Each structure stands twice: as C-alpha cells, then as structure tokens.
Structure 1
Amino acid sequence: MNKERAITYSLLAHIRNKGTLVEGPIDIFKPLIKRTLSKLSKDRGQMKGNGVNVKGNSILEIKKVSDELYSIDFPIPVLRNILNEISDDINTNGITHFCIYQDNSFEIYNYEFDDYDDVINKQKKVVNNLEKLYLDFCKSEGLKNVKGGSIFKFIEKNKFNLSKYISNKEYLNGNNYTQEAKFINFFKKIPQVYEQIKDIYLGAIITSFIEYETTDIERDVELLLDTNFIVSLIDLNTPESTHTCKTLINIAKQEGFKIKVLKDTLEETKGLLTAKASNFHKSFLQKKINSEDVYNACDRKGFTKVDLERIIDNIEDIIKDLDIQIVYLTDKDKNKARFSNEFTSLKNVRNSEQAALHDSLALLYVKEKRGGLVKDFDKVNCWFVNNSASSDSGYNINKNRYQPETIKADELLNILWLSNPRVNKSIDSKDLAEIGLTSIVSFTLNKALPKAKIIRDLDENIQKYAKEKITDQDIIRISTRIVDNQLNDIEELNSISEKDQNLFVKRLEEESKKQKEIDDRRIEGIERIMKEFEGKINKTEELYKKVQRSNKESKEDKENKNKYIKELEDKIKRSEQKEKVVKLKEWEDGELMKWRRKSWINLSICILLIITSFVIIFIVCDGDTENFNELLKGIKSSVLFPLFSTLISLIFSIFILKALYDKYHNHSNIQNYLNRLDKPDYL
C-alpha cells in the first residue's frame, strides 16, 4: 500500500509541476478520477442501445476503483465535488461522457482518459528503484529484515503531522525512522535520487487538500516566535533552518500577520548563546554529533567567540531591524505562569525550570490571545512558532481535537501553502519539499541522540583526559557511533573517565576502531550500490530503446557512423555558412546601392536647379550681353530668386558631393551604416 501511494504522490507532483490544474484545491485530483472513470468504462463497459457504457448505483463504486488505483482515501463529499467538476469539464459540444445524479448514481458513456498512463509507468520504475536503493543501503549498514516500504511511510510522515491541524485527526506513523532519515540525508548529495524523493514528499502534502476545507475568513494572525526560531533566523543554525524561518517571516509579512517575540525569549536566547560563547574553545564532539549546533554555524560563517558575544550584545537591535515586535510581560504574568498546569507539566520535560517557565509564559500568552479553545485551523489567530529539531516537548498534543498552541515553522508553511492561493503561488513547490524533508530528517536524527548534557559531559571528559592521546579522526568516529546509536552507554563511559583515565582512553580507541571497520564496509557497499544504480535513475523509455539499439552495433561501426555524421554536419554547416555569407554580401550591396542612390538623386536635383536658374536668368536678360552686364551692375528684382536658388543649390551640391565621397570611400562610415541596419531573420 505504501508503494502504491508513493506512485500516486509522484504522479500528483508531476501534475503540480506542470503548472496546470492548480486554480482550485481539488483540481489537481481531477486527472486521477478521470482515469478512474476511464478504467471503469473499459473494464465494465458493454455498449447498450442508448449509448450508456457503465451504470452505477453509487459513487462508492468509483471510490472503490480509485482506492485500488491510488491507495489514498477520497471522502465521499470531496469525491462528489470532483465528479461534478469533471462532468462540467468533459460534457462539451452537446456530447455526454459522464453523468452524476442527485441520488449519487452515475452513468459513463464510453469515456477514455489515458493522459498519464506513461507517466504512471515511469513513476512505478522510480518507486521500485528507490525501494531497491533503500534496501541495498540498509544492507551496506549491516541491517537485516528491513522493509522497503518504510521509506515511503517516512516520507509521508509530515502529511500525518499536518492532519492534527487541518482535519483534527491524530495518526500514528511509526516510532523510529532513523535509518530512513539517514538514507535521505545521504542521498541529498545525489540530485537524481533526491529530486525523486522530494516529488513523493510533495505529492503526500498535496493529498492533504482532500482533508482540508478552506475558508475565506479574513483574520488578524499573530506569530509568537520561540527561542530556536530566533537562533535560526539570525543564521546560527543550519542554512536550511535559516531559509525556512526567513521564508515563513516573508510569507507572514506578505499576509499581514503580526510577528512578535517575548522579551523573556530574547533573554533565553542570550543565555543559550552566552553558554556557547563561554565554552567556545572547549567543544568539538558536540558539533560533530549535532549538525544544528550553534558551533557548526560559527564554523560555517567563520565566527569567533568575539563575534558571538557581539551578537549577544546586539540581539534586540537585530530583532527590531527584522520588524519583529518585542513583547514585555509583567511580574503578574510570570507568577500566573509559575502556578499554571503548563508549568507543572513542562518541568518534567524541559532541561531547566527557567526553560519550563519561559514556555509556560508563551503558552498562556497564546491562550489569552485566542480567548478560548479553537477547533478549526482557519479560526486560529495566534501561534507559538518553533523551529525545533529536538523531540516533542510534550505540550503540543492535540487533546480533545482542539488546535494546539504551538506549531513548527515548516508545518505552518505547508498549511499556508495548502490553504492560501497567494502563498501557493509565491512558494516554489520544490522549495517547499526541500524545507519539509530537511525538517523531518533533522527531527528524526536528533530525536535518536542522547541528551545534550550527556554529550556535553563526554566532550568535557575527552578534552580533560584524552585530548592528547586520541586524534580528531577518532573523535569523529566516536561521534558517528553515537549518532548511529551504536554507542549507548555514554553515562558509563563518563563515569570511567573519572576512575581510570587509561581505561577511558582505551575504550575510546576501541570504539574508534570498530567504527573504522564499519566505515570501510559501508564505503565498499555504497560504491557497489551506486555502480548498480548508475544508468538506471531518471531514464526514459526512449533513451532505453536507443541504448538497446546502439548495443547491437559494433564499436567500430558506431565510431565510423559517428565520424561520418560529424563530417556531414561540419560540411553542411560550412555550406550553410558560405551561403549565408554570400547572401549577406548581396543584401549589403543592395542596401548600399539604395543608400548611395539617395545622394545621387539629391545631387541630380541640385544640378537641375542650377541649370534651371541659369536658363531663367538668360530669359530674363533676353540673351543680350549688354543686358547681362546691366544685370551685374544692378540685378533686376525678377532674377534675384533664380540667383539665390542657384547659390543654395551650389552649396548643397558641395555637401552632397562630400556625402557621396564618404559613401564610396570612407570605410568606417560605410561599416557604421551597415551595423545600424536590422538584418532579416534568414541572415
């Protein structure tokens, strides 16, 4: 069932990524149900006199087929809406293909819809390849009796997390997905595989449209940010976490949400960063184990202890520059939180009373803003938003089907993407999948880690007792064993360090040696997997056929054929280029002729004017020399105009002759003219 759903998720991602059918929340499911009707028509159809191919008494018959095809549950009201829209879409030009009636009975008139059969066949191969790749990956890790379907169950995990918000349902989706998270984390470096995983994740999120009934209610929403969100926002977490938080802030501002943070949250953030600064030069193991540690961000950004202390001193100004409002609570509010049920509950799960008090304050603030319990996500006006990759803090349980007070940044982004057309268009679907996958992988891997204090104690003991005796590479291998849950007795190891330092060092060396052997086997196994997988991933049927045909040819024939094709292509290219040069020359000569002809015409007009002027003067003077001499002494007014025009024509003639000279002999002038011309498309 997981595999069938994974194929459906890939198909939905394909439809979404085509950029069509996204105007309404159920439009994206129409192709799936159209294909269901087509299958019904083919499997059960028997043409009758009135042209009806299939008759059904209830749309439950359609639902049964769609469940078999896609392994996702279409609620009857949603399915009926989809069928009504399909009926409007396909019954055009007076031709009826499908009818649904008020009593939910239906008729299909020989309907066919095969648009996505090829895509589905391709997705089946993708899913099978991913499943095999996961099983091989587990073998390389030395694991046995692993089920391939669990990788798809893990990928759709976030869909089940969203259900508690959008449909008031709690789903159990397994307890430990560490191996699946490690698989995705490893193949994040290989785009062909990771893109396919992202498509399945995106499809899983898209199916949440089925459960989510959106409303057009305009409401003032307030986001209250938690400490881990602030740390991510100022880029002291992973780059992915920072991107998630910044994306949510941008979307929130776009939607007109109010963004706030408690003054107490900033104080808690300062306390966290101050502790990191004080141990800045003492920590090594922690940052190798936890990718989201502040020390990792400092390494990535090249920060020193001084840089971290500067951030602590300026944290409030940084927050204000981000247009986040700081909320100052009173002592009365803090006393109320200290005696609340929330504080009593949180003391058992948080690492200090101060942390429990801080979260109690935030929860009470959200509850007061809401003014009571809320069942529908669309009606919530305030959220306590975190970006935690640690295990659930214990206060976000959806009791009595009411909306919880807290929500993770990636989950809120997912729901906004589902519920709001503006957000849907402003967030790239691939980006959304990247955010969601990164979050569930981080959450899963961090959940499997020992408590931070135990790791911190081990780090300190290594610095104290073993720093000079084991290498950095040994520490990295030890951290790998902790991350992989192969080194579980860390508390016992810490106690040994105080009693027998030599035994402590020996144990560390043994653990490092064990991990080296595992690493060597793993590298060998991964290389074998990638070799087998090479050439299979992301291959189309057409490419496969071409490869098959080319394999039948001998290597020599293939080389000769390629050589001949290359020579032929070069010959054609040279011929086309030569022909283009000739045509270009002919075209340029023609344009130059037209250009020069204009000057010749102008010169001819000037000469004609000069001749005409002299003829007029001669006529006025009656051809008599004496009269002409008289004219020179005192020209009659009647010949002033011909004389003036003659003078002007002479002046113009001089300029035109200069222009003609430039058009024939000034090569830079000629080239400039040709460069300004718009060449025809064929040139």
Structure 2
Amino acid sequence: MNKERAITYSLLSHIRNKGTLIKGPLDIFKPLVQRIISKMNSKGIFSGKSISEIKSEFDNEYKIDIPIPVLKTILNQIAKDLNSKEKTVFVLYNDYSFSISEYIFLDYENDIIEKETIVNEIELLFQKFCETSDFKIEEKNSIFQFIEKNKYSLSSYLSNSVVQIDKDFTAEAQFVKFFRNIPEIYKQIKDIYIGSIISGYIQYNPSETKLEVELIFDTNFIVGLLDLNTPESTHTCNTLLQIAKNQKFKIRILKDTIEETKNLLEQKAKHFDKSFLQRKVYPEDIYNACDRKGYNKNDIERISDNLENEISKLGISIINDEKIKKEAKFSEEYKILKEYRNSDISALHDATAINYVKKVRGKKIKEFDKVNCWFVNNVTSRENNGFSIKSEFQPETINADNLLNILWLSNPRAKINIDANDLADISLTSSIAITLNKDLPKAKILRELDDNIHKYASESLSDTDIVRIATRITNKQLDDIDNLNNLANTKKEEFVKRLEEEASKQKKLEEIRIKKLEHILKEFSEKSNEFQKKTKQIENNELNSSKAIEDLQTKNDDLTEKLIEEKLKTWQKNSIYFLLLIYVTLSLIFLYLLYDNNWNLKVVTEKITDYKSNIFVSFILWTIAIIVNLFGFKLVYDRYFNHSNINNKRSRIKL
C-alpha cells in the first residue's frame, strides 16, 4: 500500500465525520469526484468521450479503483446538484461522454495537505520505532498495509476477490499496539482504518432483502462474552450480541460448544498456579482475565459449573447437536481439521458446527447478503483452519470483527448502532492479536519453558525479566524455545545465562526506544499544533472572507430588491396615469363643448343627446366607455391587487 492511498483513507474518514449532508455511503465519495472534475477543468479539459477518462484520473489520484457504474451514479448526482436553468456546469450524456464548464472545487485542499503531513509523520514514527525495537522491515510504508489488511479480508466475503498477503506484520502490530496508549497518534491510525473500510463500499451493493439470520457462536466467542478474554474482546462480543438482538437474528450455541468451553475452563483451573510466562506471551489468555478480575482457581471452576445458566441469561439458546455430530465424524471437514487442531475433539466440534451451518443454508451461496447462517468465532488463534479461502462461495465461518465491519458497512449511519471509532478499535485490536499470535510456540512448549524457569531460574530472574522474555517471544525475536528447553535439561547454567541475556537485550531496547520516541513524539506534537494553528488561521480568514462576501451579498440583494420595487411602483403608477389620461381627455372634450356653447350646460346636454342618436357618434362613445372600464380600471386592478400578475412582472424585471 502506498502513502497516497493512506491519505485517501484518512480523507474519506474526515469527510464522513465532517459531512452533515451525507445521506448515503456514496455521498462520501462525491467530494473526491468533484475534486477530480475541477482538476481536469483546470488542466484545460472541457469534455471527454467517456467517463473512463474521469475514472483514470480518479484511480491515479486516490489509488483506489472506482467501478464505472458507481462513478456514473455519483456523476449524475453531481450534475443534478450543479446545474440550474441559468447555467450548465457538468453534463453526462447517454453515451457516457461528458462536458465540463468552468468548475472549481477547492473545499478539501487544506485537509489533504494536513492528511499528507500526518501520513508522512506516521511513516517516520514507524521507521524510528522499528530502529529502536530491533525490527527489520523491507518497506517503511508497510504500516499502512497492516492497517488496511482487514479490507482485503472483508473483500473475500463481499466481492469474492481474494488478496492474500503472506507477510509477517509483527513489527507493524507492535507499533499500533504501542501507540494505542497515545491518543493523538492512535486517532490518526484509526482514521486510516475507517477510511479503508469505507472505500470497500464502492465494491459492495447491499441488498434490501431481509433474511432470518442465525448465528452459531464458537467457544472463543463465549469466553469473550464471559469476560475471560481481553476487555477489547469482551467489548467486541457484547457489541455483536447486542446488534444481533436488535436485528432479530437467531442466537444459538451447540451443546458440544458448552462441553468444549467447560473442558477449556477445567484445564485452565488445573494449571492455574503453574502459568506465568504463558499469560505474558498471550494477552488473550484466560489467566490474564483472572488477574484483571481477581479470580482464582475456584472462580474458574464455579464459572464452568454455572455455564448453562450464564448462557441462558445472555439470551442464547442451546442446540442439541448429537445427530449432526455423528454425521460430522465422517465429513471431509473433520478429516481436514484433524490436521490443524490441537485435538480430535476440537476438530470434531468445529466440523459439527460447519455441518450444522451447511444444513441450515441448504445450498452453497455466493452473495454475502443471501447467507442465512454463520458460525461466528472470536479467533486470535495461531491455528490454521486448513480451508482454502479462494472458493467462489461464502465460507461457513466468520470472525466477529469481520461481521461487525460488514454490518456497519451495510448501514453505517442508521440501524447499526456502533461508533466508527469503536469499530476501528475492535478491528485493529483483533488484527494485532491475530498477527502477534501467529507462529508463536504451542502452549505445551511454553508451559515446559515456564516450568524450567521456575525450576532453574526463579532466583536469577525477576517477574519483570520474565515479562521481557515473553515480549521477545511475542516479537518473534526469541523463537528457538525447543533449544532453550533442551538447554535447561543439559546445561542449566547456560540456560539461565541465555535468559538473562534475552531480558537484558529487551531492557536496553525499551530504554533506547523511550528516549528516541519521546523526542520524535515531541516533534510530531509541535508540528501538529503548528499545522492546526495555521489551519485555524486559514479557516478564520475564510470565515471572515465568507462573512464579508455574505454582507456584500446581503447589501446587493437589498439594493436589487429596492430597484425592483422602484420599477414595480413605476409600472403600477403608469396604470393610474393611463386611467387619468382617459379622464383628462374626456374632461377636455366636455370643457370644449361647454366653451363652444357659451358655457350653456343645457345646450351641451341636448347636443350630447342628439349625438347619441347618431350611430357613428354612439359607437365612439361606447368604445371610450369600454376602454375606460375594461382597460383602465382592469389595468389598475391587475397592477395593484392581482398578486399573480404582480409576481410575474417582478420576475421579469431586469436590472
């Protein structure tokens, strides 16, 4: 993953958080497309034969692939928003050709500069972190590959496109884990993650069809619900459980899963006082939850005894799986899983769950939205399930955080009540756990090392030293555990010396890292504050300019309204003048008749009566009367009291 795509992801997250007019997921991409149209226009491009030209510019600028149908939908919306009766800015023709006319879009330029600065700083921080932690990395931008890793995991469910990244992301996972405690940095990492998930929407068109969905929870999911994993894991499981209830999903568990959970708890109780190193290597281990909650061996046994009641309180129903379990013994899944699970019992449990899901589905399904049953796990395991992920059909199993991501992506601003920051934290925490647990020594080997430390090195090593040794194991910097155990059996002094050396190495690395990163973090904070000040200053200037423009516009509108009112009043007065002109004319004719007849009113009246008997004169008088009534009075009425006519005139006045 290159930095440009990380910048795009961060920008998408920013647009989503900032956008008050976002009605649907595709609206988040609209500013990105508007910016491309503006850039093309500024380069002198005013038309094109196909929107593939816009797609090419978009893909090159943002380093994400936007499908033509999605781009067409967004362009049609942009044309609708921009064009008016007075001006046409953008036109998309039926043959997919287009034209652009004088379009400028600069809304997010400052934000892009800020995101670019942040991405560069994260890359630098990662580089320095690796240098101070003795991690060897091939690419300094691989941190962004790790952040977007979940996107490709989701794509196998949403678009049947599988991108396998066979890479050890231990350094990247440790980096994100380290900076989880520094909110300023972690927020930027979460923004990039959320943007990567949002970008998946252009490949995903969720169906409106409502299905009765059934979720079958795995053992590790139940352990999470019981708060016997990490707090983050418990939050993940509780969040999904609540969403499932809100969505009216059927929530179930196999009877065999209860037995497997009980066996797990009993084994943990059995070795409760013999595990120290193991719980430091595996943060998700039940023993760590016991330390956090103050549980002892008896508490674990009590939880095991009351497991059915706890399951019932959570609203989860239990399925009798005896028949399916018998069938699963002869299934292909069982044969495959036996090669990868710690025991045949564990393999049979998972094979039973998978066969149950297959039975409920009834057939192989390609589209995620048509799946009506899932086997949901909360895996942070080192085990591979042995199944190919290249199938064109939906798998039977899904990880809890992947399901949460897809449910959120289906409707990120409505029914799925989960905050984007929570979602990012859930998913990144899961990615960290899965990455750090991958390829770690098996529990049996670690337990043997733990026993050897207690036998031969307990007086030489402090608890802090053992934690440092566990850190080196987690970081894959101490991986020859079998050799260490053999050394404990043959050369005890060398065994102790080797452990002391490993603890010393880690102590020095941590001291150097703290010193160097403190300096880098201070620089990052100063740059960030400086940039925020400049951004705030620019925003204030823009606000002042905007206010000045708004004031000028208001004055201009007032002046325009005043001029229109003056023209309207003149137009109205003209109707009065016209009516008065008619009366003045008639009055002058009458006065002339009086004057011509020596001001004798009686003679004038007789003459008028004589004139009325004349057909020609009578016609003229009737015509004058009609003009006065139909044109004079009506004209005055229409211009003063007919509001439709007045508004029509107002709209046609040109200044």
Q: TM-score, normalised by structure 1?
A: 0.76
Q: 1:139 to 1:544 in 2, by over 3 A?
A: farther
Give the one of 236, 239, 251 matched to 2:243.
251
What is aligned with 2:479? Answer: 488
Give the one of 486, 499, 516 matched to 2:507.
516
Give the one of 401, 407, 417 matched to 2:398.
407
Q: Using the alignment, how far apart are the partners of 1:99 and 1:84 within structure 2?
A: 8
Q: 1:544 to 1:58 in 2, by over 3 A?
A: closer
Conserved 8 A contact 2:212-2:372 = yes
Q: 1:188 to 1:502 in 2, by over 3 A?
A: same
How is 1:117-128 mapped onto 2 (pairs within 5 angstroms)? 117-128=109-120
What is aligned with 2:24? Answer: 24
1:285 aligns to 2:294 (yes or no): no
SS at match of 2:391: helix
What is aligned with 2:447? Answer: 456
SS at match of 2:366: coil
Conserved 8 A contact 2:132-2:509 = no
What is aligned with 1:572? Answer: none
Q: 1:396 to 1:200 in 2, by over 3 A?
A: farther
SS at match of 1:26: helix
1:348 aligns to 2:325 (yes or no): no
Give the one of 312, 315, 322 matched to 1:323.
315
What is aligned with 2:233? Answer: 241
Q: Using the alignment, how far apart are the partners of 1:170 and 1:20 within structure 2?
A: 34
1:136 aligns to 2:128 (yes or no): yes
Q: 1:145 to 1:355 in 2, by over 3 A?
A: closer
SS at match of 2:91: strand
SS at match of 1:426: coil
Conserved 8 A contact 1:178-1:448 = no
Letter in 1 for 2:493: N
Give the one of 384, 389, 407 matched to 1:398.
389
1:362 aligns to 2:349 (yes or no): no
Q: Using the alignment, how far apart are the partners of 1:539 and 1:431 within structure 2?
A: 29
Conserved 8 A contact 2:243-2:416 = no
Q: Using the alignment, how far apart are the partners of 1:374 and 1:352 within structure 2?
A: 30
Deviation of 1:42 (Å): 0.9
Deviates more, 1:492-501 or 1:152-161: 492-501
Conserved 8 A contact 2:216-2:251 = yes
Q: Using the alignment, how far apart are the partners of 1:353 and 1:426 within structure 2?
A: 39
Letter in 2 for 1:284: F
Q: 1:469 to 1:411 in 2, by over 3 A?
A: same
Conserved 8 A contact 1:122-1:540 = yes
What is aligned with 1:559? Answer: none
Give the one of 352, 363, 377 matched to 2:368.
377
Conserved 8 A contact 2:162-2:390 = no
SS at match of 1:115: coil
SS at match of 2:342: coil
Give the one of 183, 192, 196 matched to 2:184.
192
In the TM superposition, what whole-angstrom CA distance separates every residue of 1:463-491 from its partner, at most 9, and x where no partner exists? 23333343222211211211121211101
Q: Using the alignment, how far apart are the partners of 2:493 and 2:533 within structure 1?
A: 64
Q: Using the alignment, how far apart are the partners of 1:194 and 1:90 within structure 2?
A: 38
Q: Which runs of 5+ in 2 are unaligned?
A: 538-655
Q: Using the alignment, how far apart are the partners of 2:190 and 2:26 within structure 1?
A: 21
Deviation of 1:541 (Å): 4.8
Q: Using the alignment, how far apart are the partners of 2:499 and 2:533 within structure 1?
A: 54
Letter in 1 for 2:7: I
Conserved 8 A contact 1:396-1:404 = no
In the TM superposition, what whole-angstrom CA distance separates every residue of 1:278-335 from its partner, at most 9, and x where no partner exists? 11111110111111110111111111111111111111100100000111112x3222
What is aligned with 1:274? Answer: 266
How is 1:31-430 mapped onto 2 (pairs within 5 angstroms)? 31-45=31-45, 54-143=46-135, 146-330=138-322, 332-391=323-382, 393-395=384-386, 397-420=388-411, 426-430=417-421
Q: 1:140 to 1:236 in 2, by over 3 A?
A: same
In the TM superposition, what whole-angstrom CA distance separates every residue of 1:392-446 from its partner, at most 9, and x where no partner exists? 6324533431101100001000001111357565211111111111111111111
What is aligned with 2:612? Answer: none
Q: 1:107 to 1:145 in 2, by over 3 A?
A: same
Identity of aligned residues (%): 54
Letter in 2 for 1:29: F
In the TM superposition, what whole-angstrom CA distance separates every residue of 1:476-521 from its partner, at most 9, and x where no partner exists? 1211211121211101111222334333323322322333333333
Deviation of 1:145 (Å): 5.7
Q: Using the alignment, how far apart are the partners of 1:233 and 1:406 within structure 2?
A: 18
Conserved 8 A contact 1:21-1:28 = no
Q: Using the alignment, how far apart are the partners of 1:529 and 1:422 within structure 2?
A: 37
Q: 1:81 to 1:543 in 2, by over 3 A?
A: closer
Letter in 2 for 1:453: K
In the TM superposition, what whole-angstrom CA distance separates every residue of 1:258-281 from its partner, at most 9, and x where no partner exists? 010111111111111111111111
Letter in 2 for 1:170: V
Q: 1:538 to 1:261 in 2, by over 3 A?
A: farther
Conserved 8 A contact 1:386-1:406 = yes
Conserved 8 A contact 1:193-1:537 = no
How is 1:620-631 mapped onto 2 (pairs within 5 angstroms)? none
In the TM superposition, what whole-angstrom CA distance separates every residue of 1:4-27 from its partner, at most 9, and x where no partner exists? 011111111011112534422311
Q: Using the alignment, how far apart are the partners of 1:431 and 1:470 within structure 2?
A: 39
SS at match of 2:526: coil
Deviation of 1:158 (Å): 0.5
Deviation of 1:215 (Å): 0.8
Q: 1:177 to 1:62 in 2, by over 3 A?
A: same
Deviates more, 1:333-342 or 1:385-394: 385-394
SS at match of 1:433: helix
How is 1:580-619 mapped onto 2 (pairs within 5 angstroms)? none
Q: 1:324 to 1:202 in 2, by over 3 A?
A: same
Conserved 8 A contact 2:135-2:171 = no
Q: Using the alignment, how far apart are the partners of 1:425 and 1:325 within structure 2?
A: 23
What is aligned with 1:681? Answer: none
Conserved 8 A contact 1:15-1:21 = no
What is aligned with 2:8? Answer: 8
How many residue pairs match? The answer is 538
Q: 1:397 to 1:419 in 2, by over 3 A?
A: farther
Conserved 8 A contact 2:465-2:503 = yes
Conserved 8 A contact 1:397-1:404 = no
Deviates more, 1:337-346 or 1:12-21: 12-21
Q: Using the alignment, how far apart are the partners of 1:402 and 1:98 within structure 2?
A: 41
SS at match of 1:367: helix
RMSD: 1.9
Conserved 8 A contact 2:382-2:440 = no
Letter in 2 for 1:403: Q
Conserved 8 A contact 2:382-2:438 = yes
Q: Using the alignment, how far apart are the partners of 1:545 and 1:216 within structure 2?
A: 42
